[in-house]
């Protein structure tokens, strides 16, 4: 007797369980009809599921059919690579129940048997699409978590059918396992080779062709036009990135797009309506009852077509937060079962797991590339939300948090935000598009009560206006500039003292002071050596010293880049250095005296240092970089 109240019991299908196969009926009405068939009940075991479905069991004797969907949302086939929960497992307190018969019938080809059962109840099963050939080159370079298990086994099978020697197959598969992200255990990789070599014989079952590079010549590729869900902004089969700061209405924008798709309405800039379609949401920041439903109801969405993936249930019956890294097959199943044409992820960083470093380009591309492939394979549009960095110095396209891979993998990048000078002026701005010309900005507003509305016509708002520093930040920089100009008007001061005084007197941060320093063109000059040295900040027109407490020598670096000035006159060969009588003249001092290379100091930072030192009454020490032999 199975006694584990916190666990469920799963049966692995396929050859490992003696050829166990299951026809999994999800549609309750079809399940009722098949379950009531007395002839089928007498032949094999059937199990009713907690949600009104039905499992019909069989033993496959001649084939090894793989798991896969038969009719999306209606019936699936569980064979090689699949499993089913079995009695006395339960979900939400409701148990799996075995019908009267406990024998299991044997069939030569279980998938064909399942198709025949559905056909007897007037359910047509579409032809099974051809399986995508294994890209050996990609497999050898390693794949990401979620793809490793199947890819490495298929690689081993491909090597077996190509009659590759076992020792070479072991080496190739273990090298591919080590290249995976994260690395796949070597022992498990060798087990897959052993399984493939014991199960199959060299044959041509897998796509033929020599191992090595796979090259596609463009004249063999059929040209296709981009299929737009929202012209120039959201394409079917492609991901779109929507960037924006918190609080600007990104979730309202995605909800408005989802609403239009659910009811078949035209989106801004379009005139033609479309067929209503289902939408799958990955959104965990907003509550379903108090935020999402009211928002969609206010927008007049078809709530029967808005689906939210809240969790993924594991073999133990427990639910976990969905992950694009680990649960992409479950996300694909939800998209297929609900016939979704749009996937919205808000925000995407909430679904990448805690182990992925989103600032590393290679790691992020490895996680997002399967998502792009999923969109292309299913022909669905995808829009994901990403927040912006705080830096206002980067170009708009580089302002997305994390790696540039977010933008690189997106076919279109949009920016949602408000005018820094007028927060009520909001728009969705086109930032980047690989397959379209630049699109005009679309205005929107969020009025009292959280009501969203697209503003008819085009908006003049630009990315530069949205990403401009806000007035408060600008006033702080201006205040810091005025502070520095006033403090340095009478001469240089120590930089650390300036920053400390700005913080104490005005509450201005070091970052803001340094930004103001750069805007004003304040120069930094080091006085003294090593740890005893001090950096002085000076305006270009030094008039006097504010603080002469540092009685240390000034450090001149004569190897600084040279800068010719109009005041310097050309040297003549008859002149000699006034300090060493050398005939090799490098240039003149500001006073016009000739100097050799060893004593000549060009007018760059040295002129500023001289001015500072003269006002402080300090000696000058010239230091030159050592010359290479």
Which pLDDT score, from 0 to 100, does residue 536 have? Answer: 81
Q: Which of 191-205, 506-520, 557-571, 582-596 has the highest mean predicted lDDT (pLDDT)?
A: 506-520
* Alpha carbon distance 206, 145 (integer Å): 24
Query: How many Cα neighbours within 13 Å face the side chain of 530?
Result: 2
* Alpha carbon distance 358, 366 (integer Å): 11
For tokens 């504010």, the residue is 546
Element containing residue 555 per DSSP (H, E): strand 554-557
Nearest of 199, 196, 178, 198 to residue 187 by alpha carbon: 178
Whole-structure pTM value: 0.48
Helices and strands of the chain, counted as H and E runs: 17, 31
Which pLDDT score, from 0 to 100, does residue 479 have? Answer: 79
| pLDDT above 70: residue 188 | yes
Which pLDDT score, from 0 to 100, does residue 595 have? Answer: 62
Which pLDDT score, from 0 to 100, does residue 252 have? Answer: 92
Nearest of 50, 63, 136 to residue 97 by alpha carbon: 50
At 454, the pLDDT band (50, 70, 90 cuts) reads: very high
Q: DSSP label at 399?
A: -
Q: Is 158 helix (H, G, I), strand (E, B) or coil?
A: helix
Which pLDDT score, from 0 to 100, does residue 309 have? Answer: 92
DSSP readout, 452-511?
EEEPSS-B---HHHHHSPPHHHHHHHHHHHHHHHHHTTTS-EEHHHHHHHHHHHH---HH
Burial label, 462 (beta-carbon count in 10 A; 0-12, 13-18, 19+): middle
At 546, the pLDDT band (50, 70, 90 cuts) reads: very low
When mean pLDDT is compared across 394-403, 448-457, 611-620, the lowest value belongs to 611-620
List of residues 6+ apart from 394 with CB closer than 8 A: none
Which pLDDT score, from 0 to 100, does residue 305 have? Answer: 93
* Residue with more model confidence, 195 or 427: 427
Segment 424-448 mean pLDDT: 87
For tokens 């032809």, the residue is 127
Beta partners for residue 412, in sequence order? 240, 433
Which pLDDT score, from 0 to 100, does residue 558 have? Answer: 36
Which pLDDT score, from 0 to 100, does residue 23 have? Answer: 93
Q: DSSP label at 144?
A: B
- Token reading at 29: 């009405």
DSSP readout, 541-562?
S----S------PEEEETTSPP
| pLDDT above 80: residue 348 | yes
Nearest of 122, 123, 117 to residue 40 by alpha carbon: 117
Q: DSSP label at 349?
A: G
Q: What pLDDT digit, counting tens, does each position of 39-81 carry? A: 787 888 999 998 889 999 999 988 788 888 888 878 989 988 7
* Residue with more model confidence, 352 or 548: 352
At 390, the pLDDT band (50, 70, 90 cuts) reads: low
Which pLDDT score, from 0 to 100, does residue 482 have? Answer: 82
* Residue with more model confidence, 112 or 197: 112
C-beta separation of 103 from 46 below 8 A: no
DSSP readout, 577-594?
-TTT--S---EE-TT--E
| pLDDT above 50: residue 206 | no
* Residue with more model confidence, 201 or 364: 364
Provide the residue count of the chain.
629
Average pLDDT, the chain: 77
Which pLDDT score, from 0 to 100, does residue 589 have? Answer: 61
Beta-strand runs (E) in 293-449: 306-308, 312-313, 319-320, 340-346, 381-387, 412-419, 422-433, 442-447
Q: Is 332 helix (H, G, I), strand (E, B) or coil?
A: helix
How far is CA 483 from each of CA 85, 397, 491, 493, rounded to the nearest angstrom?
Answer: 71, 33, 14, 13
Which pLDDT score, from 0 to 100, does residue 210 have? Answer: 45
When mean pLDDT is compared across 247-256, 476-485, 529-538, the lowest value belongs to 529-538
Q: What pLDDT digit, counting tens, does each position of 568-590 carry? A: 344 444 566 666 666 666 666 65
Which pLDDT score, from 0 to 100, does residue 394 have? Answer: 52
Nearest of 282, 249, 313, 266 to residue 50 by alpha carbon: 313
| pLDDT above 60: residue 614 | no
Which pLDDT score, from 0 to 100, does residue 383 have? Answer: 93
When mean pLDDT is compared across 222-236, 297-311, 398-412, the lowest value belongs to 398-412
| pLDDT above 90: residue 260 | yes
Q: DSSP label at 529?
A: S
* Alpha carbon distance 327, 338 (integer Å): 17
Q: What pLDDT digit, counting tens, does each position of 285-330 carry? A: 788 888 899 999 999 999 999 999 998 887 667 888 888 888 888 8
Which pLDDT score, from 0 to 100, does residue 529 have? Answer: 61
When mean pLDDT is compared across 12-16, 207-211, 326-330, 372-376, the lowest value belongs to 207-211
DSSP readout, 376-389?
HHHT-EEEEEEEBP
* Residue with more model confidence, 212 or 299: 299
Which pLDDT score, from 0 to 100, does residue 392 have? Answer: 53
Segment 456-461 mean pLDDT: 88
Beta-strand runs (E) in 284-378: 306-308, 312-313, 319-320, 340-346
* Residue with more model confidence, 611 or 393: 611
For the chain, domains (ranges, CATH) are: 9-120 (3.30.2250.10), 136-199 (no CATH), 228-467 (3.40.50.300), 469-552 (1.10.10)
Angle made by CA atoms 416, 417, 421, in degrees to the nearest 5? 160
Which pLDDT score, from 0 to 100, does residue 542 have? Answer: 39
Segment 127-134 mean pLDDT: 61
| pLDDT above 60: residue 38 | yes
Which percentage of the chain shows pLDDT scores above 90?
Answer: 14
Which pLDDT score, from 0 to 100, does residue 302 have? Answer: 93
């Amino acid at each position: 007797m199975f006694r584990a109240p916190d666990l469920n019991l799963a049966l692995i299908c396929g050859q490992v369980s003696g050829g166990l196969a299951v026809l999994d009926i999800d549609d309750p009405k079809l399940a009722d009809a098949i379950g009531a068939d007395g002839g089928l009940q007498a032949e094999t075991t059937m199990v009713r599921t907690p949600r009104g479905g039905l499992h019909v069991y069989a033993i496959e004797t001649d084939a090894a059919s793989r798991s896969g969907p038969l009719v999306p949302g209606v019936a699936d086939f569980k064979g090689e690579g699949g499993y089913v929960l079995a009695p006395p497992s339960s979900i939400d307190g409701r148990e799996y129940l075995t019908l009267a018969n406990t024998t299991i019938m044997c069939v030569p080809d279980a998938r064909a048997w399942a198709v025949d059962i559905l056909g007897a109840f007037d359910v047509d099963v579409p032809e099974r699409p051809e399986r995508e050939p294994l890209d050996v080159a990609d497999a050898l370079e390693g794949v990401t978590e979620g793809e490793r298990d199947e890819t490495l086994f298929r690689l081993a099978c491909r090597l077996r059918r190509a009659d590759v020697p076992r020792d070479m197959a072991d080496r190739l598969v273990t090298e591919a396992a080590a290249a995976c992200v994260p690395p796949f255990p070597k022992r498990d990789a060798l087990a897959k080779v052993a399984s493939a070599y014991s199960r199959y014989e060299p044959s041509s079952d897998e796509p033929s062709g020599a191992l090595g590079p796979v090259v596609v010549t463009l004249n063999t590729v059929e040209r296709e036009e981009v299929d737009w869900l929202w012209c120039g902004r959201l394409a079917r089969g492609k991901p779109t990135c929507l960037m924006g700061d918190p609080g600007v209405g990104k979730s309202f924008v995605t909800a408005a797009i989802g609403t239009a798709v659910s009811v078949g309405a035209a989106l801004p800039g379009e005139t033609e309506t479309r067929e209503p379609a289902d939408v799958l949401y990955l959104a965990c920041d907003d509550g379903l009852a108090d935020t999402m439903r009211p928002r969609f109801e206010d927008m007049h969405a078809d709530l029967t077509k808005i689906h939210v993936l809240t969790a993924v249930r594991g073999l133990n019956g427990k639910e976990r937060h969905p992950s694009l890294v680990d649960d992409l097959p479950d996300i694909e199943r939800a998209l297929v079962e609900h016939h979704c044409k749009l996937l919205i992820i808000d925000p995407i960083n909430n679904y990448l797991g805690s182990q992925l470093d989103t600032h590393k380009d290679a790691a992020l591309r490895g996680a997002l590339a399967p998502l792009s492939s999923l969109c292309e394979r299913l022909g669905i549009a995808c829009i994901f939300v990403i927040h912006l960095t705080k830096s206002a110095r980067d170009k708009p396209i580089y302002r997305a948090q994390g790696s540039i891979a977010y933008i690189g993998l997106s076919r279109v990048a949009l920016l949602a935000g408000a005018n820094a000078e007028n927060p009520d002026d909001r728009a969705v701005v086109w930032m980047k598009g690989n397959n379209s010309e630049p699109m005009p900005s679309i205005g929107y507003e969020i009025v009292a009560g959280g009501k969203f509305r697209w503003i008819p016509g085009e908006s003049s708002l630009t990315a530069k206006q949205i990403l401009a520093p806000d007035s408060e930040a600008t006033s702080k920089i201006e205040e810091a500039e005025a502070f520095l100009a006033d403090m340095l008007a009478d001469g240089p001061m120590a930089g650390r003292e300036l920053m400390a005084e700005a913080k104490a007197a005005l509450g201005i941060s070091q970052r803001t002071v340094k930004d103001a320093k750069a805007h004003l063109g304040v120069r930094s000059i080091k006085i003294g050596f090593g740890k005893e040295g001090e950096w002085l900040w000076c305006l270009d027109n030094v008039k006097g010293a504010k603080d002469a407490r540092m009685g240390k020598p000034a450090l001149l670096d004569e190897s600084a880049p040279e800068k010719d000035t109009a005041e310097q006159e050309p040297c003549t060969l008859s002149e000699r250095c006034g300090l060493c009588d050398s005939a090799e003249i490098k240039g003149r001092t500001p006073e016009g005296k000739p100097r050799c290379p060893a004593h000549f100091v060009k007018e760059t930072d040295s002129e500023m240092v001289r001015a500072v030192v003269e006002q402080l009454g300090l000696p000058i020490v010239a230091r030159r970089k050592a010359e290479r032999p």
